[in-house]
């Protein structure tokens, strides 16, 4: 069933057919369908779902769609859904809701369940602890293989959450992990410690959630145990939650690098005013920063008046400089996200990007000189070539250094967007261009 059919049934108020059609869909298909619908129609479809399905669908929705759905639903319906969510999902939802709505939801939660929610909510918002689930099944150091296998069979949990079991001492100190499938090959009477994998690194509650999630996916860990400062287990992060963390972070980085705020929702159902709000702030910032470029042109206005041909190459040179800086920024931002470089590598990254920019400048300067000289004269060709040789390494150095500087200031490197770097490189490129032109032509 597609979104247009749902709209038709909704408009006709044919709720029996609509309910029958929606109930035939699985959770994944229903999630995709709701994400494509306007909020009012999505709320109608959501209300027709069985309770168990509605909770699963709500948990699968992206942040923006969920926010729109919350607005369309009543507090009573939202309270029912909220009570059935996991503590980490409840905590995340409380962060997204207006304070008044969040207070009503929390007041409806049983005290015993509220403790678990507040325990997760007490951690830093960007830490991995805010995304962890309570541990459903663990293996104790003095267990046998048979005892752990019985515990898994008796637990009413998703099998994906017990794919990798934490192995703990009596005081809950994490000493290793146990592959649940490996139990099938072990002697039932053997101690668990003989089958466990020793710990190489420990993920602590204070670690950044994106960093921890990327490490989990890189290492192929199906379940990520999370410990406190004393290495005592406090929760787990299943691999699908880690993948969701990375998807959200990548969406934000991609949007910010393009000079806009992330939508966190499907594009077509998003209202035009919402899309405009995500873009207007950065456009205003860039408009203000572009004044610097205009000011540079104003300073060298007399130079342009004497040699009009110089104006012809301004778009070419600023475009190459801006793109060089953007390429460097994108490469270094990705390397930071993948934990391939850190603040300790600042000098090495700067040197690498400067050398890369210089190489690019020389490679571009040769054809630029060969093309410009016959058409506009030897002086213009020399100015263009030298500007590229000088400007490209500067642009690459700036583009590669700014993400590291942002990281040092505890700012998301993606926030220092590519358009902003391009504007900065435009101004520096023009200064280089006119300085070389004045020196060579004696203006």
Name, of 276-290, 375-389, 414-428, the range with top average pLDDT.
Answer: 375-389
pLDDT of residue 118: 67
CA–CA dist 413, 408 (Å, integer): 9
pLDDT, residue 333, reads: 83
Report the topology of domain 139-258. Answer: CBS-domain (3.10.580)
Q: What is the pLDDT of residues 197-221, one digit of tens each?
A: 888 778 898 898 888 888 888 888 8
- Answer positive or negative: Cα dihedral of 386, 389, 392, 395: negative
Q: pLDDT tier at 349 (50, 70, 90 boundaries)?
A: very high
Instruction: Lay out the sheet containing 223-227: strands in order across.
Output: 203-204, 223-227, 233-238
Over range 302-315, report the average pLDDT.
79
Provide the residue ranges of all domains of the chain, joining segments of one domain with +: 3-126, 139-258, 272-441
- Give residue 97's pLDDT: 67
Main-chain dihedrals φ then ψ at residue 306, nearest 5 degrees:
-80, -40
Q: Give yes or no for residue 1 having a pLDDT over 90.
A: no
pLDDT at 64: 75
Quote the pLDDT of residue 164.
86
Q: Model confidence over 244-253: pLDDT tens digits? A: 888 888 777 7
CA dihedral 261, 263, 264, 265 (to 10 degrees): 180
pTM above 0.95, yes or no: no
pLDDT at 394 (0 to 100): 93
User: Which class is 272-441 in CATH?
Assistant: mainly alpha
* CATH, domain range 3-126: 1.25.60.10
pLDDT at 439 over 70: yes
End-to-end CA distance of the chain: give it in Å, rounded: 71
Q: Is the pLDDT of residue 96 over 90?
A: no
Write the pLDDT tens digit of every residue in 109-150. 666 666 667 667 778 888 888 888 877 688 898 999 899 888
CA trace torsion 123, 128, 130, 132 (10° rounding): -120
Contacts of residue 198, defined as CB under 8 A and 6 or more positions apart, other chains included, come to: 175, 176
- CA-to-CA dists, residue 170 to 143, 179, 203, 299, angstroms: 11, 20, 20, 74
**154: how many CB neighbours lie within 10 A of its CB?**
8
């Amino acid at each position: 069933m597609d979104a247009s059919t749902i709209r038709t049934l909704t408009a006709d108020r044919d709720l029996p057919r609509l309910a029958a059609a929606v109930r035939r869909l699985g959770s994944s298909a229903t999630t995709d369908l709701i994400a494509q619908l306007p909020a009012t129609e999505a709320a109608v479809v959501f209300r027709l779902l069985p309770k168990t399905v509605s909770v699963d669908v709500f948990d699968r929705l992206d942040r923006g769609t969920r926010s729109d759905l919350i607005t369309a639903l009543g507090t009573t319906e939202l309270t029912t859904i909220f009570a059935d969510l996991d503590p980490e999902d409840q905590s995340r939802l409380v962060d997204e809701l207006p304070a008044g709505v969040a207070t009503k939801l929390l007041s409806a939660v049983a005290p015993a369940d509220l403790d678990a929610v507040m325990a997760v909510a007490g951690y830093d918002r960007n830490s991995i602890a805010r995304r962890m689930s309570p541990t459903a099944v663990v293996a104790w150091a003095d267990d046998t293989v048979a005892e752990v296998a019985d515990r898994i069979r008796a637990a009413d949990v998703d099998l994906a959450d017990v794919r990798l079991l934490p192995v703990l001492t009596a005081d809950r100190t994490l000493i290793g992990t146990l592959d649940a499938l490996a139990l099938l090959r072990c002697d039932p009477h053997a101690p668990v410690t003989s089958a466990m994998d020793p710990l190489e690194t420990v993920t602590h509650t204070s670690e950044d959630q994106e960093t921890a999630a990327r490490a989990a996916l890189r290492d192929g860990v199906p379940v990520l145990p999370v410990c406190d400062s004393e290495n005592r287990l406090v929760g787990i992060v299943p691999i699908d939650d880690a993948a969701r963390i990375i998807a959200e972070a990548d969406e934000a980085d991609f949007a910010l690098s393009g000079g806009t705020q992330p939508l966190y929702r499907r594009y077509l159902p998003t209202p035009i005013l919402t899309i405009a709000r995500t873009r207007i702030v950065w456009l205003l910032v860039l408009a203000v920063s572009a004044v610097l470029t205009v000011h540079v042109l104003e300073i060298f206005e007399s130079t342009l008046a004497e040699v009009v041909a110089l104006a012809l190459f301004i778009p070419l040179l600023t475009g190459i400089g801006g793109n060089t800086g953007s390429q460097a920024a994108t490469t270094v931002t990705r390397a930071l996200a993948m934990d391939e470089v850190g603040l300790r590598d600042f000098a090495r990254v700067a040197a690498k990007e400067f050398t890369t920019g210089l190489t690019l400048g020389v490679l571009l300067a040769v054809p630029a000189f060969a093309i410009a000289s016959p058409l506009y004269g030897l002086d213009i060709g020399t100015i263009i070539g030298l500007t590229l040789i000088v400007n490209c390494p500067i642009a690459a150095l700036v583009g590669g250094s700014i993400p590291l500087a942002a990281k040092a200031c505890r700012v998301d490197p993606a926030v220092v967007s590519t358009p902003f770097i391009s504007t900065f490189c435009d101004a520096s490129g023009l200064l280089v261009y006119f300085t070389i032109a004045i020196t060579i032509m004696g203006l």
